[in-house]
Structure 1
Amino acid sequence: MMARLEGKVALITGGASGIGMEVAKAYIAEGAQVAIMGLADDKLDAATASLGGDTISIAGDVRNYADNERAVAETVEAFGGLDIFVANAGVWDWGTRMVDMTPDQLEATYDEVLGTNLKGYMLGAKAAAVALAKRKGCMIFTLSTASVNSAGGGIVYTASKHAGLGVMRQLAYELAPHVRVNGVAVGAALTDLRGPSSLGLEGKSIKELPLKEAAPMFLPMGEQPEPSAFTAPYVLLAADGENASMTGTAIDCMCGYNIRGATGPNGWGDFDPAAS
């Protein structure tokens, strides 16, 4: 049976770890040639060596349009075209509430988190659109429980992911019928997703959270999946065939989070207006 992505070329931002790297593995297993984009560090080199197959790595910052443009150009040069663009690079705000940030922290965290999670998606999409249109390709955005729910992050992360859902839908409208644009709303995954430097959290990884222990409290199935468990929708959305008309859709891959919701204090919680 022919691999579902045989002959396809994919560019994945944030592809050196976490969901991005697992998607890269899944694409390679399905016959695709893959370029991963990430910040220039040892992790990017190690990821490329680990992935093997038809893989290249491209160092760059998704917040910079020239880097996105170069990533697309290097992918096309290496593999002859581009069929799939996965906007995946992200930063998490560790659920930091607005009332717990100083005004300066709020401003800086907004710029840092939305710069990666939203501006990075838009710049990558802009850079990839023409190359994708030439091959009737597709874009896939990594979204989140925080794209449609509260408490999947703090005020800034939630804003970035709600906005990412809107950008995905708008681009599906703008780029039709030449490029399909969809998203995968991923639940909390044990990845190396880091915090923002604006809050002094750049060294902290989401893997430090006790997600496996907490899973029975907030996931109906009672277990915390590994990152590899989230990749099937990315393959489905990238493949040709029965889903070829699917666009503007966010596939729910939240592990049932949105039918139970977050645990913890409701409403204002322990917010004390008199102390703010």
Structure 2
Amino acid sequence: MSALESKVAFVSGGADGIGLAVVERFIQEGARVAVLDINQEKLAALQVQHPERVCTVCGDVTSYEDNQKVVELAVQRFGRLDTFVGNAAIFDYFAPLSRIQSEQLASSFDRLFRVNVLGYMNGVKASLDALKASQGNIVLTVSNSGFYPGGGGILYVTSKHAVVGLIKQLAYELAPDIRVNGVSPGATDTEMKSVEGVSRKSQPLNHIDGFHEKAAQAVPLKRIAAPADHTSLYVLLASNEQSPMTTGCVIHSDGGWIAR
């Protein structure tokens, strides 16, 4: 029997990158998945590929109503909700505070934190009743930047530290009904977008010159991750049978930053 047989998950930012890899792995493990993403084209391709196992909503994680639509659709289509995976995020192109224009600081902060932190809160809030009914769980994507400096700029690193606090507080607030944990990927070969206006050089993360080589050399395992490299940890934390006593924890999948 697969680890997530008969389970239903909601994955935000699930049409690309780590989110897409999680969706595909959850399906392999027997789950059905509701996906929220802003990319209609990629959502449509995902729906065509998995017509019986996936339902989708094209929307913005910063909108509570869009998150609510996904939960309602999941329950209507699949009858329940067992897991919320908060994954959507944007980057800041390593911009230090000194290089962010003063007139851009507030708007860049608002946009990045609304996606990276409020987006998770919206998904959790919208999922609470359904998860409580199923005695389900929450898994949030953190980052090595949630623990160490230098993996991003001031906005991204601070937002990911906030996600670690969010996991701990939610685990405290939602126990004993809902377990809350996180996965902390290191540098991964994805096209995570940067917040507009924070840098004139802003571009997708894996398009940066030398990104793959520098990221690989920065960690003891000496390689950059593919999105699928992290997915077993999401499965583990989403399975109440495999991790029944784990809450308030973040599992690192970052090539060994702590051992540097």
TM-score range, shorter chain: over 0.9
1:150 paired to 2:149: yes
Change (3 A) 1:50 1:94: farther
RMSD: 1.6
Change (3 A) 1:139 1:208: same
SS of the residue 2:244 aligns to: coil
Change (3 A) 1:186 1:162: same
Tell me which residue corresponds to 1:30. 29
Cα distance in 2 between the residues matched to 1:104 and 1:131: 42
After superposition, what is the alpha-carbon deviation per residue over 1:86-125, rounded to whole angstroms, capped at 9, x for unaligned? Answer: 0000001011010001112111110010000001111111
Matched residue type, 2:67: N
1:13-162 map, 5 Å: 13-162=12-161
Aligned residues: 259
SS of the residue 1:165 aligns to: helix
Gap regions ≥5 residues in structure 1: 261-276
After superposition, what is the alpha-carbon deviation per residue over 1:204-231, rounded to whole angstroms, capped at 9, x for unaligned? Answer: 2112133332244202111112111111
Cα distance in 2 between the residues matched to 1:159 and 1:127: 24
Gap regions ≥5 residues in structure 2: none
Cα distance in 2 between the residues matched to 1:166 and 1:225: 25
Change (3 A) 1:50 1:132: same
Matched residue type, 1:231: T
Tell me which residue corresponds to 1:274. none
Give me the identity figure in percent.
37
Matched residue type, 2:148: N
Change (3 A) 1:88 1:189: same
The question of whether the paired residues in 2 share the 8 Å contact of 1:5 and 1:239 is answered with yes
Task: Give the superposition deviation at 1:50.
Answer: 3.6
SS of the residue 2:197 aligns to: helix
1:212-251 map, 5 Å: 212-251=212-251
Tell me which residue corresponds to 1:271. none
1:187 paired to 2:190: no
Task: Give the superposition deviation at 1:240.
Answer: 2.6
SS of the residue 1:199 aligns to: coil
> Which of structure 1's runs of 4+ aligned residues deviate more than 4 A?
200-203
Matched residue type, 1:74: L
Cα distance in 2 between the residues matched to 1:122 and 1:255: 28
Task: Give the superposition deviation at 1:52.
Answer: 4.9
Matched residue type, 1:255: G
The question of whether the paired residues in 2 share the 8 Å contact of 1:16 and 1:48 is answered with no
Cα distance in 2 between the residues matched to 1:40 and 1:24: 15
Tell me which moved more, 90-99 or 193-202. Answer: 193-202
